[in-house]
Structure 1
Amino acid sequence: MRKKCGFTLIELLVVIAIIAILAAILFPVFAKAREKARQNTCLNNIKQLTLGLLMYVSDYDSRLPYRYYQIVGAASCDGKFFWPRVTDTYVGTGLGTSASGKELWRCPSHKWGTPTNWYCGAYADYAMNGSVEGRCESEIRFPAATVLLGEYAYYHPTHERWYGWYSWAGWAPYQVSPPVHGCRYDHNGQQNIGFVDGHARSGSEGYWRSAEASGAVRRTP
């Protein structure tokens, strides 16, 4: 009589165990690779927005825009100007929830999604360094070391959107509940920063704090 060929229960369990071990090893690797791709997209966003701000500077007497200002007496968006609104003229994306280029203003790792409205073009996943707003280029002594933009914002839980017009002001992580201003380190523990000279790079909280302590990175001109 011929013996039937097939897996025994023990052999099947061994195969399942091997697959589980491989999955446990590979899935985190794949997750990190996907996040690295999102980080690169975010870094490119900051790079483009940084260059957009510098194009604004070249058109307005070598002076950076303010994060936010409002014409006295104005009660509508016509009298409110946020840095994303003035920068959009140069990056050409169009602001709004249905704008074709809205992704430039959103970090792909940002879990909250697109806001339901754009409130005068103010909502963005990035924030401008308040220490350099309104300053002339000549006032910024170390443009290659001075922060211009960062992944920093304030989340409003009621409105379910980020307020991008708040000032980027430091390295501490954000908090959602209760809402606390802070940086986002969503890219495998790193955040992206754009500098006044136009370049952008990534780093962890420890890296940025160390770089600031050594003078390689500056928050103030």
Structure 2
Amino acid sequence: MFPVFAQAKAAAKQAQNLSNLKQLGLAAMMYASDYDDMLPNDPLIRFCPSDPTMSIGSIDRWGNYYWPWLFQPYIKQQPQDRSKAADAFYWNPNAPKNNPQELSKARAACIWPQPAQSWGLSCALFKGGKCASIQYWTTYAYNEHIGDFPGGANLSAWQAPSESFLLLEATDSEIEGDELDELYSRTKDCTGIYPDPANADPTLGGHNGGTTIAYLDGHAKWRKTNWGPNGECSVDTNGNPLLVFPPTTPGGDNVRVKGWTPIFDE
């Protein structure tokens, strides 16, 4: 009977996870409706909320790193500070509780003390009188091409929004197709095979061999992870983790792959 109970418990956790991502998908749609069909993105200017003189540095790619708090007004939820329990809205209950997210260097200093404290965050490390690390719990990652790709934040630019990724489950706050070592669901240790040893340990956190994805039309669903020909530790010719789905891609603005980018080559 114990395997049956374990399966039922895992299914209940996955149902909660799916609900969370559906709510985030709807929050993104509401955000876009308030901002002329634009999602959180890179404002293309350097700035520093806590120090307008930018003497402590500046922030780039605002949308990619701070999207959870930009969606907060629409769902009344935000990631938990690392000093608190991981078990909250932004955490997949199937994921191991050993991998908090981090805002470091200027990405921490430029939001400390505000708006970080208003977001319920604390500074984990000070250096030279500046906040150098803010850590928090989330298992959801923003499609990096929304924030980086020219025009990617404009919903009307996407050719296939119902097939395009908004959020995936990963160990970083943002993800693209050359960073799939961060994707939750891998059970194998790929140390010595994956190029980044820090991301080679098993991520776990999946459900029945897959993860849940929120899409740009507001819906979310579970999808099976489809690994490359050598299984979970497959790599491409550049040494990057090789997956069929979600598809591995090169990094940068020249990518044209369905799911990741507004326009794509069939």
Q: Indicate the TM-score class for this superposition, using the shorter chain for normalisation.
A: 0.5 to 0.7
Match in the other structure for 2:244: 209
Match in the other structure for 1:126: 140
Q: CA deviation at 1:69?
A: 8.6
Q: Does the 8 Å CA contact 1:147/1:196 hold for their aligned counterparts?
A: yes
Q: Does the 8 Å CA contact 1:153/1:168 hold for their aligned counterparts?
A: no
Change beyond 3 A, Cα 1:168–1:33: farther
Q: CA deviation at 1:29?
A: 2.7
The structure with the larger Rg is 1
CA deviation string 1:47-91 (max 9, x = no partner): 111111111111011111127998524447xx8650011011111
Q: CA deviation at 1:185?
A: 5.0
Unpaired runs of 5+ residues, structure 1, are: 1-25, 155-163
Rounded to whole Å, the distance in 1 between the matches of 2:40 and 2:92 is 22
Change beyond 3 A, Cα 1:191–1:53: same
Rounded to whole Å, the distance in 1 between the matches of 2:98 and 2:181 is 19
Match in the other structure for 2:154: 136
Instruction: State the AA in 2 paired with 1:218.
Output: G
When the two structures are aligned, how many residues end up with a matched partner?
A: 182
Q: CA deviation at 1:132?
A: 2.0
1:179 is aligned to 2:198: yes
Match in the other structure for 1:22: none
Q: CA deviation at 1:118?
A: 3.8
TM-score in terms of structure 2 length: 0.55
Match in the other structure for 1:103: 88
Rounded to whole Å, the distance in 2 between the matches of 1:84 and 1:59 is 16
Match in the other structure for 1:219: 260
Change beyond 3 A, Cα 1:34–1:67: farther
Q: CA deviation at 1:167?
A: 2.4
Change beyond 3 A, Cα 1:72–1:105: same
Unpaired runs of 5+ residues, structure 2, are: 52-57, 102-119, 123-133, 183-188, 192-196, 228-242, 249-256
Q: CA deviation at 1:129?
A: 0.4
Return the structure number with greater helix share. 1
Partner of residue 177 from structure 2, selected from 162, 169, 175? 169
1:93 is aligned to 2:134: no
Change beyond 3 A, Cα 1:115–1:147: closer
Change beyond 3 A, Cα 1:109–1:185: closer
Match in the other structure for 1:190: 210
